[in-house]
Amino acid sequence: MNVTPDPVSLELIERKIYLIRGQKVLLDYDLAQLYGVETKQLKRAVKRNIGRFPADFMFELCMEEQAALRCQVGTLKQGAHAKYLSFAFTEQGVAMLSSVLNSERAIEVSIQIMRAFVRLRQMLASNADLSRKLEALEQKYDSHFRVVFDAIRALMAEPAKPKRTIGFRQ
């Protein structure tokens, strides 16, 4: 049985998936790193095959999105990736990209990326399913368990980020 090791871990890929314009995407420089090619080589291949990348497969970030992303990531050096706007690839765009790059590594990495997207969808679906079951239990039982249900909801909710106050405080 000939099993090749995973080229990249699912956890690494999941950390590189961003939510931009309401879509889960991977950015060109992260994909280039995963595929083992230079970003300009990846972008050149995309531009040569631009017909394969409609707007729902890939889009170019605007200046505001690029700046916000740079602030969010925080690890980029000043001026890094600033010369050109980044391309953002949806799940379908990543699948198309593997055929454009046409290498064994691109195929292996694309398979891992597809698995990461599937895993994210499963996690979201299971959380939604848990919410529906909790609502059904709430309706079934009386107010004696209201505290328990409220505590479970609080654990399920994303933690609220405290807002920093700016300016003079007395």
pLDDT tens digit sequence for 80-139: 545 788 999 998 898 888 888 877 888 888 888 888 888 888 877 777 777 777 777 766
Architecture of domain 10-124: Roll (3.10)
Residue ranges per structural domain of the chain? 10-124
Distance from C-alpha of 140 to C-alpha of 30, rounded to nearest angstrom: 48
Token output for 99? 């055929």
State how far the alpha carbon of 96 is from the alpha carbons of 15, 25, 26, 78, 83, in Å. 21, 14, 13, 32, 25
Confidence of residue 160 (pLDDT cuts 50, 70, 90): low
Q: Looking at 11-15, 31-35, 131-135, which range is the least confident one?
A: 131-135
Instruction: Say if residue 58's pLDDT is above 80.
Output: yes
The residues, ordered by sequence, that sit 6+ positions from 42 with a Cβ below 8 Å of its Cβ are 28, 31, 32, 35, 97, 101
